[in-house]
Chain A
């Protein structure tokens, strides 16, 4: 796979580049949250009730500058968002990583084995994909209960099928290629053919799905947490921040909802725009690849 060509095609759209930049910034902010944030929003001793519900841009009792205001416990909203980003991105990336490994393995295996193994595996995928993700996740959370680990499990369970289906269809195309036949006639083992020959050639479509699923996972976790069926209050992701702010929105403390909402919006939209850009890049790349045989 010629990544240089992919990147060149990708960079032709300014929106895609901006989205990539935005997501990179969000990632850096999340990683260095504890360095950038003016306070640790979940260190209760650092909170001062005298500072509660300060509007954006005010300076608190302890001399801290609250860029985005404070919540009803005197917590700096900007800091809470940084820590929330960390949880939201962390949950999405962790579940995505497990989902992509699991789903790709199943998909390539199904394509390679064919026959009844393929039929059974893909039937399971079909069944799962016939239900909307949010319904699947809600049922699982209703069964296992809420919390960080359970929501990761639920998100993996929701995502793996997309990867499996994508990997299978990409692998089926590759299986017909001559290099696979060559590898078989060199009597390479099935594991080697599946994961060292076929897998690298399936990465394009998988990468597109990974970007889409990153956005979906972040949005899904936020929705579930907002509904009260996702993360617990001790693990405040962006969705929970929005839910907390929502209860105070009617009394004019708009910043508690708007800013975490904007952070979520930028995160999800940029991941989706990246997926769009990648899709375009891979389509033009495969057009080039066909020309060269």
Chain B
């Protein structure tokens, strides 16, 4: 067990270093940030001065080593555009994204699990099939398309909800969040629904297939023979046994939403890290791009690591499989 954890931890750190190297070299190839950040009409001295200040005059490998050493100390360079530490710029935007993901995930759980239970208990009958086909839409509709449709319906036609922005931000339990004000809730609703469709569809399908799988088990037949109502069997017996994969997938999907929020945030002008990265790519704000990718990679690697370890605790066969197939 300890060996497995250690091995996975080593994998994870290798991934981080490789990704940082790839990203750093790759981003260098995007273009020359000098042309983007400095007014080309300014005099040569001003340009040289700026290049020196940004450290762009050193050799590539030296820039990388410097970057790696600083990264260990939590210093990922200054944003060219914001003239502040890149890490700080990202951390400032992070609460908005987390808040969006939190609301989206809550909507997904509250709607997706009951729908999955209903669809599963219907089995192959028409309503079950229909719900299952409907959930395909949740996967297949491009997020930006759904976002635009939501704006078109609820902001432009009905004028019920604002089409973008974060709204008023208040303090809740010492955290500054839009969830503390009614205006903030109005703003978060549309993007959160938009973001929730994918996890909702995923949860629904997962629960549905779990219910169908469990429905033929002996313990279910026994419960039915005892004369328990089908609702009680569904909730107290079957649902419990579908929970393990559901919880695992929820962990992974929550991480995935960080990436999906890129699209949602851009459509709804939500000031989170997703919009930040799109803007940074357009403006070639190298330190922010690198810091963003490293943070997201860190989060993902941590989540994957946790999942691997959890699995190996639940199912020891996983530890033995793999390498020696």
Interface residues of A (CB under 8 A from B): 13, 15, 114, 118-119, 123, 127, 130-132, 134-135, 138-140, 142-145, 172, 215, 219, 222-223, 226-229, 239, 242, 246, 249-250, 254, 257-258, 261, 264-265, 268-269, 271-273, 276
Contact = CB atoms under 8 A, between A and B. Distances in A.
B140 A227 contact: no
Contact of A261 (B26, B148, B282, B322): B148
Nearest to A250: B156
A27 B277 CA distance: 35
A265 to B, nearest CB: 6
A130 B142 contact: no
14 contacts: A114-B325, A131-B300, A132-B260, A135-B293, A138-B281, A140-B26, A145-B30, A172-B325, A215-B140, A226-B142, A249-B152, A258-B152, A269-B136, A272-B136
B120 to A, nearest CB: 16
Contact of A257 (B140, B152, B260, B323): B152
Contact of B323 (A119, A143, A246, A254): A119
A219 B259 contact: no
Given A127-B15, A142-B30, 4 more contacts: A219-B140, A219-B141, A249-B148, A257-B148
How would you classify the secondary structure of chain B's contact residues: helix, strand, loop or mixed?
helix
A22 to B, nearest CB: 12
Contacts, number: 111
Interface residues of B, number: 45
Nearest to B252: A130
Nearest to A131: B300
Contacts of A228: 278, 282
B262 A139 contact: no
B142 to A, nearest CB: 4
Contacts of B143: 223
Contact of A132 (B129, B144, B259, B301): B259
B140 A130 contact: no
